[in-house]
Amino acid sequence: MGDPHLLSSAHPNAAASASARKHPGPIDERLAASDPSPSSAKRPRVAAEPPASGGCVPNVEADVRALVSMAGGIYPLARAEALRGLTAVLENVDPSSRASVGITECCYKCAVELMRDDDNGVRLAVVRLVGACARNFSARLNFDANGYGDLMDMIFLQLSSMARDMCTQVRMEAFTALGKMQRVSEGVLLQSLSKKVIKTDSMNVSIINGQKLPPKLKIPCAAGIFSHGIEDEFYQVRTTACKSLGALAKFSNQYAEKALDLLMDMMNDDTEAVRLQTLEALFHMATYGCLTVQEKHMHMFLGLLVDATAVIRDAARKILGLVNMPKLQIFKSAVDGLITSLEKYPEEQDIYGILFSIGKNHGSFSANIAKYLAKEIAMASDGELILDKPRVKALLIVSISAPFSDDKHKKLNIPSIIFSHAIPLLEKFSCALGGEINQDSLLSYLCQKGGMPFWENRSISAEFGESESCNVETVEIGAHIENTAKATKCLDEVLVMQSVKSILEIVEGAWTMRMTCNVCEVRTILRTCKEELRLLAENSSGSIGAFLSFLSEYVDAMLFIVEIWQLIQLDNPYTFGLTSLDILLEKLDMSVRRMEYCYVRLNRVLEVQVLELSLIAHLFRLSKIAVCSKVVLGKLLSVINRLEDLCADGSCELSDFSREIKKAFDTNPTGDNLIGSINNLFQLFRLKPTTDFGMLKVISAVLRVCDNDSENPLQYICGLPVGISFKISLWNVSSHHRLWLRMTIGESMQHTFLDFSCFGGNDEVKSSSMVVPLYATPKACSFVLRVCLVMECPSAGISTHQGGDGGPSDSVVQLSDELDVYFVSAVQR
């Protein structure tokens, strides 16, 4: 309080000029709020602040005033409640608004007064309130950095003094609040680790002269607060202290180094929860890159690697996979530790993954290991070096990881003998890479590096031989290594698009080789690509995620087309009954339908692609039945019309394939010549995948049943309806979509229409929980109901009516995974 320039700026002219501006910055905001005339144009805008802030600002002020006066009351419960109220107010106030400054300062002042309250509950509430104030102040720092730094230090010290409270809850809360502090100066942070008071002149000056400190609040009260915290009697306090200790590490490297010493000592703690939390804190530090292991810590780490508890071992390994090891010696001892752990717990195969990432993070060290290993391999006579030995396997993994390391500027010479010996470990290797790269490409990579003639034996076609294929694969690997190097869930969009491009190139390449080359191979390539796209899609979100899932659908369709083509060429088309061809055709149809209907805002290019696929699907149907079915022809025609429509304005061109079909149609509307020339037409089909996806969105749904699994079935009475309560979430579904809940018991099927009126949420996500009756329960002791959400596809005029069960009148696409609901008869004899 007492910010004189705030008051002085409350000048009518300043307010007027501020309101005249379009986008007032934070400073203007302050001026506006301090406008003395309530009738100015500013009023509505202030009132329209988030409703959570309790309406307009003056009301908040009144709240704060009332609460502050109540906080001075004589009853401790009332005081505590008032402080909690203030905390709630602070949480709802927008920290960027001008009003928040006054309110926060006022709350802070009030909290400081009650810091030494006699009642535990009040002190607990004080800590929370101070924490909330600190958050608001630090949010404020983003707008104006004048003079809050000292304040933050001061709050840190105050919280530290609370962390020595006699009440366990207060201590816990204080440590939690300390962990959430932002922008604390390094001196204060360092002091919080050491019980001995660090005497730094500059620090004393900045803190004691900068603020009028009450006599009790000098830096000593922060002294060693974390050393106390980790020695606390209650493991809950120790846990929170550990957590905060790790969380603050990102602010200062010097602090992180010292905090590591404390955390390493915590590994001797007698409570497992604390040890785990410590490991988590270390992991946190490691992900922020502020964890550098020193030699003195190594024996503790190595001890953890052979700990009796599997969770601890696992956590320790994960950390080890991320830390920086400054010395070769440490690196070697870490690798040795992992090998020991591997020998002791051979079932824990993820150690290989850790070895790989350690090696990758320390490229030159692993190159060193590779050098020695290569010597060892060369020296060993036949049979002496057994690849089965965990040690050799581990060292091989480490060596092989060197070329993937980030320090690419150094040329790492990995002897080729390493690569050739690593081939038997292909599976582990690909696991270590996160399973994202298929083994074939890895194998080819290893062979190529190992100098083995591998592709020559395998490749069939001459023009698509070794070199090109290897190139493709290495490009692919390259893209992936970049991804794994990121090692984060949220993949960078640029990187994703790069890999998508390379994948699409592969797909195109594969398509061109469908005629010349073995279909099996094409299939494998496509399948791998699809798998990769799916993986990428899982890690992405938004439009790019939708596009990736679209692409994987697309590649899926390609796969079906290739397979169908093969069948059409090989099989006798005049067979009866349901053949694999029928199934494939149906699958292709489904796939095309999904692409057509499950994506919102398909751009023109993508839509053309889908329509062409749909043309092909219809062509296949025609060739299958070898008779020109009216229905299929009708559909074909409608697709062509739509295509023409799309290309009418010349923004994109009708492909040769479509044009040829159109021509055939025009000459003979019954479509007889279509079947004859199907082979030629198929040859004309070209893939033109695009990477332009615009604002693509995918329609999807998640269906859940409450409290039901095979152990915990729902009860029903035979023959009577039973209600099932579902939780349904829908993404990007708008009101014109027609969704049905399909419930299947064996052969019988019940469709229930979903009424969107009972759904809450916005256009993007809708969710609801509803009880849906199942009318015809079977006369059985128990049964499994299969439920899924389907969406109707409004095919233009041509209806494939599915019968009068009251279900959807058009063909449908499945939106959600199929769900099993378990039932058991209530009357069991």
Q: Which of 677, 727, 720, 678 is nearest to 701 (CA)?
A: 727
Angle 596-601-607 (CA atoms, 0-180°, nearest 5)? Answer: 45
Residue type, 582: D
**Per-position DSSP letters for 29-55, written without gaps between them:** HHHHHT-S-TTSTTHHHHHTS-GGGTS
Q: What minimum distance in Å lies between the beta carbon of 107 and other proteins?
A: 10
Q: Which of 592, 653, 598, 597 is nearest to 618 (CA)?
A: 592
Residue in 142, 204, 234, 273 binding other proteins, rule: CB under 8 A = 234
- 342 in contact with other proteins (CB under 8 A): no
Stretch that binds other proteins, among 68-76, 525-533, 635-643, 774-782 (CB under 8 A): 68-76
Residue 292 gets which letter from DSSP?
A: B
What is the three-class DSSP state of 635? helix
Nearer to other proteins, 268 or 518 (CB): 268
Residue in 218, 391, 523, 786 binding other proteins, rule: CB under 8 A = 218
d(CA 277, CA 194): 21
Q: What minimum distance in Å lies between the beta carbon of 531 and other proteins?
A: 45
Binding to other proteins (CB under 8 A): which residues in 184-203? 195-196
Q: What minimum distance in Å lies between the beta carbon of 194 and other proteins?
A: 9
Backbone angles phi, psi at 537, to 5 degrees: -60, -40
Q: What minimum distance in Å lies between the beta carbon of 22 and other proteins?
A: 23
d(CA 286, CA 305): 17
Q: What minimum distance in Å lies between the beta carbon of 275 and other proteins?
A: 12
- 619 in contact with other proteins (CB under 8 A): no
Binding to other proteins (CB under 8 A): which residues in 69-98? 69, 72
Which sign does the torsion angle of CA 397, 399, 403, 404 carry? Answer: positive
Residue in 21, 109, 486, 704 binding other proteins, rule: CB under 8 A = 109
Nearer to other proteins, 262 or 504 (CB): 262
Q: Which of 102, 172, 179 is nearest to 135 (CA)?
A: 179
- 346 in contact with other proteins (CB under 8 A): no
Nearer to other proteins, 69 or 518 (CB): 69
- 6 in contact with other proteins (CB under 8 A): yes
Q: What minimum distance in Å lies between the beta carbon of 234 and other proteins?
A: 5
Burial of 1 (0-12, 13-18, 19+ CB in 10 A): exposed
- 494 in contact with other proteins (CB under 8 A): no
Residue in 10, 417, 684, 798 binding other proteins, rule: CB under 8 A = 10
Tokens for 570? 């090989």
d(CA 470, CA 454): 10
Tokens for 407? 């320090």
Residue in 18, 64, 89, 503 binding other proteins, rule: CB under 8 A = 64
Q: Beta strands of 58-140 (E only): which ranges?
A: none
Stretch that binds other proteins, among 231-239, 368-376, 551-559, 799-807 (CB under 8 A): 231-239
Query: Could you tell me if 657 and 614 are in contact, meaning their C-beta atoms sit under 8 angstroms apart?
Result: no
d(CA 581, CA 567): 7
Nearer to other proteins, 151 or 622 (CB): 151
Tokens for 646? 């799309």
Q: What minimum distance in Å lies between the beta carbon of 33 and other proteins?
A: 6
Q: What is the 3-state secondary structure (H, E, C) of 547-591?
A: HHHHHHHHHHHHHHHHHHHHHHHHCCCCCCCCCHHHHHHHHHHHH
- 38 in contact with other proteins (CB under 8 A): yes
Residue in 116, 663, 686, 801 binding other proteins, rule: CB under 8 A = 116
Residue in 14, 15, 18, 33 binding other proteins, rule: CB under 8 A = 33
- 26 in contact with other proteins (CB under 8 A): no
Residue in 11, 21, 43, 65 binding other proteins, rule: CB under 8 A = 65
Q: What minimum distance in Å lies between the beta carbon of 39 and other proteins?
A: 12
Residue in 45, 84, 164, 534 binding other proteins, rule: CB under 8 A = 164
Residue in 215, 650, 803, 804 binding other proteins, rule: CB under 8 A = 215
- 281 in contact with other proteins (CB under 8 A): no
Q: At what angle do helices 120-141 and 76-92 cross, to 10 degrees?
A: 20
Binding to other proteins (CB under 8 A): which residues in 647-686? none
# of chain residues touching other proteins (CB under 8 A): 56
Residue 327 gets which letter from DSSP?
A: S
Angle 260-197-294 (CA atoms, 0-180°, nearest 5)? Answer: 20
- 257 in contact with other proteins (CB under 8 A): no
Residue 267 gets which letter from DSSP?
A: G
d(CA 277, CA 287): 15
- 224 in contact with other proteins (CB under 8 A): yes
- Catalog residues that contact other proteins under the rule CB under 8 A: 1-2, 6-7, 10, 33-34, 36, 38, 57-58, 61-62, 64-65, 68-69, 72, 99, 102-103, 106, 109-110, 116-119, 161, 164-166, 195-196, 215-216, 218, 220-221, 223-224, 227-228, 230-235, 262, 265-266, 268-271
